[in-house]
Amino acid sequence: MAALFLDVDARHPITLPDGTSYTNTVWLKAVIDHPNIEVGAWSYYNDFDPVTDYAARIAPYLHPGAPERLRIGKFCQFAHGTRFITSSADHPKRWFTTFPFAVFDYDLMAHFAEAFSQGRDTVVGHDVWTGDGARIMPGVTIGNGVIIGSGAVVTRDVPSWSVVAGNPGRVVRRRFPDAVCARLDRLAWWNRAPEDIRSLVPLLASADVPALDAALAERGL
């Protein structure tokens, strides 16, 4: 059986019919080396503008050594303009001023150290698709199989298999009935061996519930 995605470490995974690489799309795991960012295999990002630093492009406020992390699962799909606004972008909101004086005068850091150390991780599950210009705000956890509409601003956690739209983003529906979502969670195809994932593609490219049940039974799930 052919392997799935022959080179997971390729920078540009799409080859056009004429044999040239489609350079707008990258496997994020192959192009990001950042101590605060974790990316699962086969998650991609597409951008129509030149990019020299993909970590800075998708998470522009996350610097090495920041108190928060960005964790991205496998098989995620991020459209042009997707941005993760991480906790380091935040300013104190309970004080009389929001101005971060200590950024410009380190001698004032004692007044800001506690506020600056309260970063919250942003977590993205597996098989998540974000549309053009989506914004994911600090500390959000996005479940598996979520679809986030173009221009949505996600300010709170999103349960698995949901569709999110708007500003502020809200869950407009679940993608499938609860019982089907539970079956998909049991299958957890993104964690299976590449050869098994490839064998599941005909099922994954459908909404065939009996076939899903058969695949679960075949795997003792």
Cα distances (Å, whole numbers) of residue 186 to 94, 129, 217, 219, 220: 43, 20, 11, 10, 10
Residue 26: helix, strand or coil by DSSP? strand
Contacts of 11 (CB under 8 A, 6+ apart): 26, 27, 30, 31
Distance of CA 54 to the CA centre of its chain: 13
What H or E segment, with its residue span, contains residue 217? helix 209-218
Calpha distance 51→189 (Å, rounded): 31
DSSP 189-207: GGGS-HHHHHHHHHHHTS-
Can 111 be counted among the known catalytic residues?
no
Calpha distance 12→10 (Å, rounded): 6
Classify residue 58 as left (phi > 0), alpha (psi -120 to 50) or beta: alpha
Q: Which of 12, 34, 80, 91 is catalytic?
A: 91
What count of residues does the chain have?
221
Positions annotated as catalytic residues are: 91
